[in-house]
Amino acid sequence: MGKHHEVEIFSVFIANQDDTFVTTKTEEAVLEYGGIPGDLHFGLTKFAGARESMYKRGTEIFNRRQISIVSVEECAWIAEKLEVEQILPEWLGANIAIKGLGNLTKLAPGSRIVFPSGAGILCEGENLPCTQPGEVIQHKYPANANLTTRFVKASLGQRGIVGIVECPGKIRTGDTAKVIVNNV
């Protein structure tokens, strides 16, 4: 087992609102194979889109984007670069905000985040930014110019990761989770 860090589960969120990827804070959630039941991104499969252009659009493929994780430190850095008061994890569609791992986005694929319940998430690597969260941020700060596109540039390498549920179980706000770094 490689190097590991302890991190705080700062908040847990679910994408359960109509017509938006924006998430809502919740005290705890259950991870099942496929993600968080009831969440927009839940499912062992998904339909291929712009991020999976090697497959014909709409083809059913395995869902490696089950869970979105951000760090509160990186959200603060993005806010600073955009010169806005704050960037909430909800606006990025995050399911989990962790505290204590500033460079979360650079966590090597194959790393794990393991929770006190025994639940575990397998890191599938950086979540490449797109303009959608930028639109949400622009809406929150109408006086600032070009936030939609500036978000993409400002958050590259700091927008967090996506992952797969490797072991089902509960995750709770305030949990201390272990990040086991894949150091191959």
Residues that bind a second copy (CB under 8 A): 1, 33, 44-45, 48, 53-56, 59-62, 64, 108-110, 112, 114, 118, 120, 122, 124-126, 128, 164-167, 178, 180, 182, 184
Minimal distance, residue 153 CB to a second copy, in Å: 15
- Cβ-based neighbours of 74, under 8 Å, separated by 6 or more: 102, 103, 104, 105, 158, 159, 160
Nearer Cβ to a second copy (4/81): 4
Tell me whether residue 63 is exposed, middle or buried, using C-beta atoms within 10 angstroms of its C-beta: 0 to 12, 13 to 18, 19 or more: middle
Minimal distance, residue 44 CB to a second copy, in Å: 7
Nearer Cβ to a second copy (145/184): 184
Nearer Cβ to a second copy (90/126): 126
| Listed residue (41, 51, 35, 156) closest to 93, CA to CA | 41
Nearer Cβ to a second copy (79/114): 114
Question: Which residue type is seen at 138?
Answer: Q
